[in-house]
Amino acid sequence: MLSFTLRRLLSTLVVLWAVVTLTFFAIRLLPGDPATVLVSQAGGSAQDIAAVRQQLGLNDPLAVQYVRFLGGLIQGNLGVSLVSRRPVADAIVEQLPHTLALATSATFLALLAGIPVGIVAATHRGSWIDQLCIALSVLGFSMPILMSGLLLMLLFSLLLGWLPATGQGSWRHLVMPALCLSLASSATIARLVRTQMLEVLPQGYITVARAKGVVERVILWRHALRNALIPVITVIGLQFGSLLGGTVVTESLFSRRGLGRLVVDAIFWNDYPLIQGVVILGAAIYIAVNFLVDVSYGLLDPRIRRG
């Protein structure tokens, strides 16, 4: 198990390095020189631009800049925002909790809704209940955040007045954004749990458990679900990526602070250190989650860690 984890950790670090490298060089393709952007905002002259270039180290060869960037990154230094002049890492640390709270609560909601729906559909295979669950999952999968978010706001804020439509602060602000962000993932998980359960239920060990007289509820939750969940865990890791992306839209729709607002503003301002920081962080979180998923996969299924 340890060597499996170590091997995965090593390849995860390699991917992380590749992601950082790709982002670093791709961002240099941005039109416009950061020094010019900085100075023209402050209304400086051509000499100022040259001075700032020197100061930012932009006159050095790209390779030198790259090594310096990597060195800084290891110490948690992502450079300085061109607009706010603050360290990028500070700006990100400030916004990250908002985005993580949204993405993780959406993940929990997706599991909370997806798993029971999948089980109910599988145990009622072919009946109208199954059909209803399938229809709901197709609908949930196709429902844009921009649609579900508006409907939730209309219903719970404007008509019923139960929840605040925008902003943040308490858990009440989190309910609607998390709910609309989770819909597509709930649908995906429900579908997957259903097909997995349909595969597991006819297995010999389920028949044996029934023959022994194990209660049906125990068979479903203990024997069947545990085996059906293994692929679900992989999908949660993959879904976390689309949830992270989805937070950008959700935050904007519900006027919430977070990495989404940060990166969109950075794109408008051409604030390349900030864009670079958020993109790298987004990929790093996604990679880290999938690493954890891989490792837990090994813990759950002994066949894998020996493989």
Partner 1 sequence: MIGGRFSIAGLVGAVVLASIVVGTLLAPWLAPYDPLAMDYQSQFLPPSLTHPFGTDLFGRDVFSRVLFGARTSLSVGVLAALLAALPGLVVGLMSGYYGGWLDHVVMRTTDLVLSFPSLILALGIVAILRPGLVNVTLAVGLAGIPAYVRLVRSSVLTVKQELYIEAAHAIGCRDPRIVLRHVFPNIAASVLVLATMDIAWAILRATSLSFLGLGAQPPTPEWGTMIDEGREFLRLAPWVSLAPSSVMMLAVLSLNLVGDALRDALDPRTGSE
- Which parts of this chain interact with partner 1 (CB under 8 A)? 15, 18-19, 22-23, 26-27, 29-31, 125, 134-135, 138-139, 141-147, 150-151, 153-154, 158, 165, 191, 195, 198, 240-242, 244-246, 248-249, 252-253, 263-264, 266-268, 272, 275, 278-279, 282-283, 286-287
Three-state DSSP class for residue 82: coil
Nearest approach in angstroms of CB 211 to partner 1 is 27
On whether the CB atoms of residues 236 and 107 are closer than 8 A, the answer is yes
Whole-angstrom Cα distance, residue 262 to residue 96?
10
Which residue lies nearer to partner 1 by CB, 19 or 73? 19
Report CA 41 to chain centroid distance, whole Å.
34
* Residues found in the chain: 307
Which residue lies nearer to partner 1 by CB, 103 or 209? 103
**214 CB neighbour count, 10 Å cutoff:** 14
Which residue lies nearer to partner 1 by CB, 240 or 297? 240
Three-state DSSP class for residue 127: coil
Whole-angstrom Cα distance, residue 194 to residue 197?
5
Which residue lies nearer to partner 1 by CB, 50 or 175? 175
Nearest approach in angstroms of CB 204 to partner 1 is 22
Among residues 77, 74, 56, the alpha carbon closest in space to that of 65 is found at 56
Nearest approach in angstroms of CB 286 to partner 1 is 5
**Count of CA atoms in the C-beta half-sphere (13 A) of 303:** 2
Which residue lies nearer to partner 1 by CB, 142 or 170? 142
Nearest approach in angstroms of CB 105 to partner 1 is 17
Nearest approach in angstroms of CB 99 to partner 1 is 11
